[in-house]
Structure formats: structure tokens, C-alpha cells
Amino acid sequence: MLGRMRPLPDDLGPSAFRYRDAGGLGLTSKMLRGRRFARVTHGGYQLAEAATTDVAVWQALRRFHPQVALSCQSAAHAYNNQLDAGTVPHVTSPAQIRRTGLVAHRRRQAEITSGHGVELTTPRQTFLDLAAELDDLGLTIVGDGLCAATSLTPGQLLDFVNTHPPVPGLNQARRVAALVRWPVASPMETRVRRLIVAAGLPEPLVNDPARDGGHGWLAYVDLIYPQAKIAIEYQSEYHRTDRRQWRSDLSRMRALQEDGWLVLYLSVEDVRYPNRFLGPLRSALVSRGAL
């Protein structure tokens, strides 16, 4: 029969501690090697149950590496209020950090700022860092999201990457930064916009107001061709299941249609099989003299 695990000290908190202090905390080397503890960095430990989020990992690491900051996916999630979104934590630091369950980038120079209760790379630094890890679509989604969630503008992002010294991913960052738009409300809007452009069709405006013949405001729409009076709306499950949103969508659709607008509503299936909407969109653009 297996013996019971030795109980932990009552006053052991979630903070990280050094190996040399373990004895004073009532802990043995054998206990530290067990599943109840996580190795934060060389010579540093923390209760495993306290090391399950990006913020907790950052808080533990900064005791040993004061200049550590969340970066890459972890920083992007923070800016979009999605901290601890289930991915492996990413950090950057001038010092080399080795730890299981962590992606640590060693960078002697990186733009760091404070926000969301943590130290993290700036939005434009986060975009550039991710250029070495993501494809064009993924990076465009990140760029759109960062510009929507922060004060960063597409023009500022483009200026930053165009004047930055050579680093891995810089060429892709420069190419994709030119595709970033504002204000984009969701990753699906980015996907739809990129599918339209990839099909050789004119790029629609993003979240621009639809106006009537007298230039009065009718509605904001996801993607729009103002001159052709064509509006494209992506409908998530929320639009179908939330009654208030459903009624609002009906009201907007009636207002647009009464003024002669063509409204194309898309679902996740249309994004998965884009020819289902790209063909009708092309025909509509032709019939309305926009193509």
C-alpha cells in the first residue's frame, strides 16, 4: 500500500520560492520533485496548483527574472481580455529561462509596457514577434485584433515594421501590416475580408455606416461596399440565440432593404465553404456596376 503524502505546511502560500529556502519552509527535496510542485526556473519552485495561468507564471518568474514580460500569444490574449486562454504561456526576457510548459524567448531588446495587471510586450512588438510564428491569415487576425483593442493604428503598425531593423519574420510583418484594418470586431470578419480579397474582388470597408440616399445613417455593418449599396454581415450563433440581438438584426435588415441595399448574411459554413457566398457576391458587384 502506498503511503500518504507528507502534508504541506499550513503557511505555504502561492508565491514562488528559492530552492535554498525550501528547508526553512518545511519542504524536502523529495517533496519538490513531486506533482504538488512546479519548477518555475532554475532554483525556483511554486505550488503546481498556483502555476496554472499566464499571470501566475509571470508573477512567479519575475521574482527570479525582474525583466520578464508576457509576449507573443500571451500578450495578444491579454490585450483582447483573453488572458489564460488555454495556450502555453509565452514570455520574453533578456535572461535565458528554461522551464517545462513555458515558451521563453530571450531578447535583449523588446518594447515592454504595463497593462492588465502584468508587464507585457507593446502591441506593435507583439505583432512583430508573432510574425515569426503565424501564417498571413493568423497574423492579420492578430493585427486587426490589436488595433481594435488598443490605441495602435494600422498606419502606426506599418511605420513600425517598415523602419525596424532586421529580425526573424520582419518581411512577413511588413507584408501583413499593410493588410491590417480598423475597426474589426471579430476574427471572422478578418477571415471573410481576406477571402474576398483572395478571390480577386474589391476589398470592402470595415464596420462603416450604411447611409440612405439623403446620407442619413441607417446601420453599421461588418463589411460594406457603399457605392454599390452591398452589405455583408457575419452571423455567429449569438445572433441566432440572443433574442435582443435577433430583433436588432431584423430591424437593421428591414431598414437597409427598404433603402435598396443588398444584404448578404454569412454563417460559419459560408466561411468554411467560401464559394457559397463569393459567387453571389461577385454577381451582385457586377450587377451594381462595382466590378
Q: How far apart are CA 43 and CA 13, in angstroms?
A: 18
Cell 476574427, residue located: 187
Give me the pLDDT at residue 1, please.
39
Cell 535565458, residue located: 96
* Beta bridge mates, 92: 69, 105
Question: Which pTM value belongs to this model?
Answer: 0.84
Give me the pLDDT at residue 2, please.
45
- The DSSP line for 25-70 is GT--HHHHTSTTEEEEETTEEEEGGG--SHHHHHHHHTTT-TT-EE
Give me the pLDDT at residue 86, please.
61
The answer to whether residues 180 and 157 touch, using CB atoms and an 8 Å cutoff, is yes
The answer to whether residues 195 and 188 touch, using CB atoms and an 8 Å cutoff, is no
Residue 114 parent element (H or E): strand 112-115
Domain boundary assignment for the chain: 17-69+87-110, 123-177, 187-287
- Report the side by side order of strands in the sheet with 44-47: 17-18, 44-47, 37-41
Q: How far apart are CA 211 and CA 2, in angstroms?
A: 74
Give me the pLDDT at residue 108, please.
82
Q: Where are the alpha helices (DSSP H) in 199-272?
A: 237-241, 243-258, 268-272
Q: What is the largest CA-CA distance in the chain?
A: 84
pLDDT average per 10 residues of sequence, the chain (291 residues) = 60 70 80 80 74 80 90 93 73 86 87 92 97 95 96 98 96 98 94 97 94 74 94 74 63 83 94 96 96 91
CATH class of 187-287: alpha beta
* Beta bridge mates, 263: 231
Q: Which of 263, 197, 194 is nearest to 228 (CA)?
A: 263
Q: Is the peptide bond before 183 cis (omega within 30 degrees of 0)?
A: yes
Using DSSP's 3-state secondary structure scheme, residue 275 falls into: helix
